[in-house]
Amino acid sequence: MDRPVGEKSSGAPTIVEVDLGNRSYPTDIGSGLLDQPELLQKHVHGKKVIVVTNTTIAPLYLDKVVEALTKGNPAVSVEYVILPDGEKFKDMDTLMKVFDKAIESRLDRRFTFVALGGGVIGDMCGFAAASFLHGVNFIQIPTTVMAQVDSSVGGKTGINHPLGKNLIGAFYQPQCVLIDTDTLDTLPDRELASGLAEVIKYGLIRDAEFFEWQEKNMEKLIARNPNALAYAIKRSCENKAEVVSLDEKESGLRATLNLGHTFGHAIETGFGYGQCLHGEAVAAGTVMAVDMSYRLGWIDSSIVKRVDDILPRAKLPTASPETMTVEMFKSVMALDKKVADGLLRLILLKGPLGNCVFTGQEDYNRLRPLSYCGADVFILAFSLISKASYENVSKKWIPELKHYAPGVPIILVGTKHDLREDKQFFIDHPGAVPISTAQGEELQKLIGSPAYIECSAKTQENVKAVFDAAIKVVLQPPKQKKKKSKAQNACTIL
Ligand SMILES: NC(=O)c1ccc[n+]([C@@H]2O[C@H](COP(=O)([O-])OP(=O)(O)OC[C@H]3O[C@@H](n4cnc5c(N)ncnc54)[C@H](O)[C@@H]3O)[C@@H](O)[C@H]2O)c1
């Protein structure tokens, strides 16, 4: 720790500069900064300010901010808009309230928006500033750990769409970020922990030394030790500022800040905004990304263990909520904004602690088999009418499943129509059970493990027999089979 930035005082702030040429700006960090009016006032443009905040933060800090803006500065008039509190209000309707206020106040471009609150307020107010009259001045006063270590720095602004998080937005930099660490005194414990997910992220993706520091100091962070918190905020802002300076518009490097976020966004969206805190979703998503990195052979197990150890110490989850299904992940992730040309790109760890990569096409091919892990049984369904489907099953899927999940039983599912024509296939693959697509889907639901179903016919026969077969396979894998007649072979797996 190089400097006690967190000690309660009204001393000079620690400044982390976001270096963006003529759009560079300072991030002032310290205790009692809202008691130093000049820090805010020097960044105000024009004579009018609109503070954007919410119903929770307004009673706590609005007066203080208004005072900081106006003390010794009577020429400035301050208005405010108080939005409902919560991620579920990070939407177009709520954003309109900010525009309504600005338009009612008859503002020209020379005024300043001030975002007073957590990441939701910061993102929304920033987007209002980016789009109102094609861009006006704005200042960030973040009041959560999440906002102080991440969202207020770097100029990513926006709102959610019902189909996906943060899908509408703009890159738009503030005039300054003022982090008064005293505001964290009123932050609920769960919100504090949520912000720590992003602190941990910096350590994992680019700052191993910081991660080691966190391993030594996590209990201090959770206990709100001011020095520890201030150091974590400063170091996080330094990391974020460096990344943003190198890649402001996320053409590459900046995307690495999204470790765990692709899964996390799916959890947040799948769950309904506001049910699972952003940092909690990111923490669960980080575990998934780290797990994938390990299974790909990119990191060693000690990193997995360190992540599994530190997250609970930070009071963060290590698994996604049980009600999240694979289908929920898939449908939401498909919409994730990092889907480019139909390819879902993920940030994964690779190499020693503190290194990560952005996955590409080759990695994607290697990632697919990861979904096989943990399956009790595979159900391969195919159309017996289509030779291509037959080829696909026999030449691609069976070898792949056997390679990546040796020993896991496979049930082949086909339609009856061409049994005569394809009987050789069933002789080659004892255990094949003819059923329909609908039946296969029923099975998939029942077993809850990955099943790959491609079948053209829609008959409803044999459902019970196939259910029974699959359950038996799961509970009691078949022994080595004796030589049987062709007819019996079709049911060997039973
Ligand atoms: N722009 C970015 O780069 C970026 C990065 C990370 C997260 N985000 C976004 O940030 C949002 C999450 O931010 P968040 O975790 O700050 O959530 P939040 O803004 O909803 O704040 C969390 C809760 O704490 C309350 N609160 C805030 N400050 C308080 C204080 N000092 N005392 C008491 N209560 C206080 C809020 O009213 C709210 O109820 C998400 O929408 C996420 O997408 C954006």
Most confident of 27-41, 434-448, 459-473: 27-41
- Please tell me if the CB atom of residue 154 comes closer than 6 angstroms to any atom of ligand 1: yes
User: Residue written as tokens 């296939």?
Assistant: 425
Q: How far is the CA of 199 from the centre of ligand 1 (A)?
A: 14
Per-residue pLDDT of 51-85, as tens digits, reads: 999 999 999 999 999 999 999 998 899 999 999 99
Mean pLDDT across 83-99 = 96
For a pLDDT cut of 90, what percent of the chain falls above it? 54
CATH code, residues 375-478+485-493: 3.40.50.300
Per-residue pLDDT of 102-141, as tens digits, reads: 999 877 778 999 999 999 999 999 999 999 999 999 999 9
Is there a contact between 42 and 72 (Cβ–Cβ < 8 Å)? no
Q: Kindly give the residue spans of alpha helices, DSSP state H, lying in 141-260.
A: 145-146, 189-206, 208-222, 226-246
pLDDT(257) > 80: yes
pLDDT at 316: 97
Length of the chain: 494
* 97 or 457: which leads in pLDDT: 97
Mean pLDDT across 16-35 = 96
Query: Identity (one letter) of the amino acid at 403?
Result: H
- Please tell me if the CB atom of residue 140 comes closer than 6 angstroms to any atom of ligand 1: no
- Please tell me if the CB atom of residue 187 comes closer than 6 angstroms to any atom of ligand 1: yes
pLDDT(447) > 80: no
Q: Picking from 153-162, 222-231, 330-339, 341-350, which range would have the lowest pLDDT averaged per residue?
A: 330-339
Shortest-distance atom of ligand 1 to CA 156: 1
- Please tell me if the CB atom of residue 238 comes closer than 6 angstroms to any atom of ligand 1: no
- Please tell me if the CB atom of residue 244 comes closer than 6 angstroms to any atom of ligand 1: no
* 416 or 194: which leads in pLDDT: 194
Query: Please, what sign has the CA dihedral across residues 81, 87, 90, 91?
Result: negative
Joined together, the tokens standing for residue 244 give: 């943003």
For a pLDDT cut of 70, what percent of the chain falls above it? 71
Please report which confidence band the pLDDT of residue 459 belongs to, taking 50, 70 and 90 as the band edges: very low
Residue range(s) of every CATH 3.40.50.300 domain in the chain: 375-478+485-493
CATH of region 14-186, choose from 3.90.226.10, 3.40.50.1970, 3.40.50.10470, 3.30.930.10: 3.40.50.1970
pLDDT at 414: 59
pLDDT(304) > 70: yes
pLDDT at 252: 83
Query: Identity (one letter) of the amino acid at 231?
Result: Y
Please report which confidence band the pLDDT of residue 86 belongs to, taking 50, 70 and 90 as the band edges: very high
pLDDT at 389: 65
Per-residue pLDDT of 384-419, as tens digits, reads: 556 666 677 777 777 777 776 777 777 766 554 444
pLDDT(359) > 70: yes
Measured from the Cβ of residue 20, the count of other Cβ atoms closer than 10 Å reads 15
CATH of region 188-372, choose from 1.10.10.10, 3.40.50.10490, 2.120.10.30, 1.20.1090.10: 1.20.1090.10
Phi, psi of 371 (to 5 degrees): -70, -10
Query: Ligand 1: which residue has its CA nearest to atom 3?
Result: 151
Residue range(s) of every CATH 3.40.50.1970 domain in the chain: 14-186
pLDDT at 445: 61
pLDDT at 492: 23
Mean pLDDT across 356-362 = 76
pLDDT at 201: 98
Q: Kindly give the residue spans of alpha helices, DSSP state H, lying in 223-355.
A: 226-246, 261-271, 278-295, 301-313, 326-335
Pocket residue to mutate for ligand 1, from 56, 124, 196, most atoms within 8 A of Cβ: 56
Calpha distance 72→190 (Å, rounded)? 38
pLDDT at 329: 78
pLDDT at 460: 38
pLDDT(481) > 60: no
Query: What is the number of helices (H) and of strands (E) in the chain?
Result: 19, 17
Joined together, the tokens standing for residue 402 give: 């056997």
pLDDT(444) > 70: no
Query: Identity (one letter) of the amino acid at 304?
Result: V
pLDDT at 418: 45
Residue range(s) of every CATH 1.20.1090.10 domain in the chain: 188-372
pLDDT(456) > 70: no
Joined together, the tokens standing for residue 137 give: 């001045």
Mean pLDDT across 322-343 = 68
